[in-house]
Amino acid sequence: MDNQRVILWVLFASMVFLTWSRWQTEHAPAPVAVNDQSIDAPLSAETPAATAPSASVADIQPPELPQIPGAAVTPGAAPSIQPSVIDAEPVSVETDVLNLRISKTGGTLIGAALKRYPKAKDAPDIPVQLLSNDPETLSVMLSGVVDSARNGPTHLAELQTSTNSYVLDEGADSIDVPFSWSANGVTVQKVYRLKRGHYDIDIEYRIRNDSKETWRALSYLQIRHRYTPQKRSMFDVDSYSFHGAVVSDGTKYEKIDPEGLADTPVNQKLAGGWFAYIQHHFLLAAVPAPDAEYSINASFADGIINVRSDGPVISVAPGEEALLTENLFIGPKLQSQLEQLAPSLPLTVDYGRLSLLAQPLFWLLQQVHDFVGNWGWAIIIVTFLIKLTFYKLTEASGRSMAKMRKLQPRLKALQERYKDDRAALSQHMMDLYKREKVNPAAGCLPMIIQIPFFIAFYWVLLESVEMRQAPFALWITDLSSRDPYFVLPLLMGIAMFVQQKLNPAPPDPVQAKVMMILPVMFTGFFAFFPSGLVLYWLTNSVLSVVQQWNINRKMAVA
């Protein structure tokens, strides 16, 4: 092998190309990807308007109620509670992190704004909106209890509440938002519980049966979201993330293709799972009771994707009471909060196939951030720690590079002497390597080992909501978006060029020209990457330059 550095660059170029291809494959329009409108689309100027009828919410056909298994219900019979207009004056709920709007028609969640997450860095007063009852950007979460007569506090029923406004008091840890329903001797109190600093919402159904017959019913959760093809742009990282519905059995999750649902609806039994509608950094999730088996149904019709869980049937005897509990999540993909709700819910932070490496790297990054208080410095410190971990390997590679550099005059002399005899040239070069105890392939192993760590760290920086709009210093105000002035990519290119000069030049003039072009190529390639990732590779390159310079200095003295 004439020069192992060519192999290193080829490996690195292949790795970056595969990373980019995987990004495109997993997040571009694909059979498994839901190219849906962004969850926060109501505030997005770039998202195209959906081709939806200009109709009021009342004109949208409401989803069907689930049916109690074994109940004697006439097929096609209308529910006893007729659908009504989602009220013009919904209940508003404000906590320290959420602004919710809840309709008194069924207690449907029709609006949600994240107070701590502005839609854009330059518009801090406009929060991300995760729910909307606008027909063109429909995104709502429904829930309810239905009995064998298609009655009960369903999402179609009119619920009663004592006030239209709730605010989490200063110093209070949680707030309850109660709705009530009663008919035929059965009373149900539906309570939403929101907690300070949290994006998960508890739902409780407190059932009291004062009738003379056993009341059989089941609870259900549902997410409805309008399907709109995603407008993609190489300047917008968010546009390449997966947007759509997912269903989990509690260990893994499956992305749902809405067009496939039109022909083959999902209908399966699960226990301990959940379902969600996800996008880059944010999600809507519904988590049924973990200790019960329920059915999951997903369908797509009239431009709307519906995913629903129907809980097991319960029986409440006359004079008895029952309590049903379920959970929702409306917010950013904060892994600590997601894990508290369901152990597998952090899977919605899609680190890909290298999650086993990405998860510890994220944990380390978070620990460092908790100490220094800045994600940019955390990236630099973690990069240093990764470099320190592989120091011995890279040192061996660097020594091999330094020896190769010292051999360059003798290698050039051999090339001149045997320029017309490739076989003899190869043989004499191998003899020279053997006499000088130089292994030209010694530098390959460290790079091969570090490639998975680079890809894993790439996904950590890309997918972690903690990086979203996180400032570093000076002009870098958002580590999740590209450097607006391209300073970091240029510095990275310079560092790569210096690193190249510290290593032996390829003996082949064509290879040498290619090596000269690579820093320019990668500078252009990284120019549109998130600045946090460029900061990582800049730091890595600078540390490599320092390490190789030190090794060359020691070898020269020796």
pLDDT of 36? 34
Name the domain boundary from 321, 350, 379.
350
Decide if 234 is inside a domain: yes
State which residues form the domain around 249: 31-56+89-350
pLDDT of 23? 40
Which tens digit of pLDDT belongs to each residue from 91-112?
A: 999 999 999 999 999 999 999 9
pLDDT score of 39 more than 70:
no
Q: Are residues 312 and 447 in the same domain?
A: no
The encoded tokens of residue 439 equal 């292994």
Decide if 74 is inside a domain: no
Helix (H) or strand (E) holding 254: strand 253-255
Q: Are residues 199 and 296 in the same domain?
A: yes
Please compute the mean of the pLDDT values over residues 115-140 and round it to a whole number: 87
Residue 514 burial (10 A CB sphere; 0-12, 13-18, 19+): middle
Helix (H) or strand (E) holding 224: strand 215-226
Please count the structural domains in the chain: 2
Q: Are residues 335 and 395 in the same domain?
A: no
Q: Are residues 290 and 263 in the same domain?
A: yes
SS (H, E, C) 394-451: HHHHHHHHHHHHHHHHHHHHHHHHCCCCHHHHHHHHHHHHHHCCCCCCCCHHHHHHHH
pLDDT of 55? 32
pLDDT tier, 508 (very low <50, low <70, confident <90, very high otherwise): low
The encoded tokens of residue 223 equal 């997410």
Which tens digit of pLDDT belongs to each residue from 548-558?
A: 777 767 666 55
Question: What is d(CA 477, CA 475) in angstroms, rounded to the nearest whole number?
Answer: 6
Decide if 451 is inside a domain: yes
Please list, residue by residue across 383-408, b when 16 or more beta carbons sit within 10 angstroms of its beta carbon and e when fewer do: beebbeeeeebbebbbbbbbbbbebe
Which tens digit of pLDDT belongs to each residue from 163-188?
A: 999 999 998 999 999 999 999 899 99
pLDDT of 397? 67
The encoded tokens of residue 305 equal 């994707």
Name the domain boundary from 307, 322, 350.
350
Decide if 209 is inside a domain: yes
pLDDT score of 342 more than 80:
yes
Decide if 307 is inside a domain: yes
Q: Are residues 413 and 311 in the same domain?
A: no
Question: What is d(CA 307, CA 305) in angstroms, rounded to the nearest whole number?
Answer: 7
Q: What are phi and psi of 398, to 5 degrees?
A: -65, -40
Please compute the mean of the pLDDT values over residues 435-456 and round it to a whole number: 69
157 in Cβ contact with 106 (< 8 Å): yes
Mean model confidence pLDDT for the chain: 77
Question: What percentage of the chain exceeds 90 in pLDDT?
Answer: 28
pLDDT tier, 201 (very low <50, low <70, confident <90, very high otherwise): very high
Please compute the mean of the pLDDT values over residues 492-516 and round it to a whole number: 71
Decide if 498 is inside a domain: yes
- What global pTM score does this model have? 0.77
Please compute the mean of the pLDDT values over residues 464-474 and round it to a whole number: 86
Q: Are residues 413 and 335 in the same domain?
A: no
Q: Are residues 522 and 546 in the same domain?
A: yes
Q: Are residues 334 and 407 in the same domain?
A: no
Total residues belonging to the chain: 558
Name the domain boundary from 290, 323, 350.
350
Q: Are residues 346 and 374 in the same domain?
A: no
Q: Are residues 422 and 396 in the same domain?
A: yes
Question: What is d(CA 220, CA 214) in angstroms, rounded to the nearest whole number?
Answer: 20
pLDDT score of 388 more than 90:
no
pLDDT tier, 503 (very low <50, low <70, confident <90, very high otherwise): low
Which tens digit of pLDDT belongs to each residue from 272-308?
A: 889 999 888 899 999 998 888 888 888 887 788 889 9
Decide if 73 is inside a domain: no
Least confident of 92-96, 137-141, 234-238, 253-257: 234-238
pLDDT of 49? 31
Least confident of 10-14, 53-57, 473-477: 53-57
Q: Are residues 219 and 319 in the same domain?
A: yes
* Residue 435: closest CA among 401, 410, 398: 410
Decide if 143 is inside a domain: yes
484 vs 377, higher pLDDT: 377
Q: Are residues 15 and 103 in the same domain?
A: no
pLDDT of 375? 92
Output the domain CATH number for residue 99. 2.70.98.90
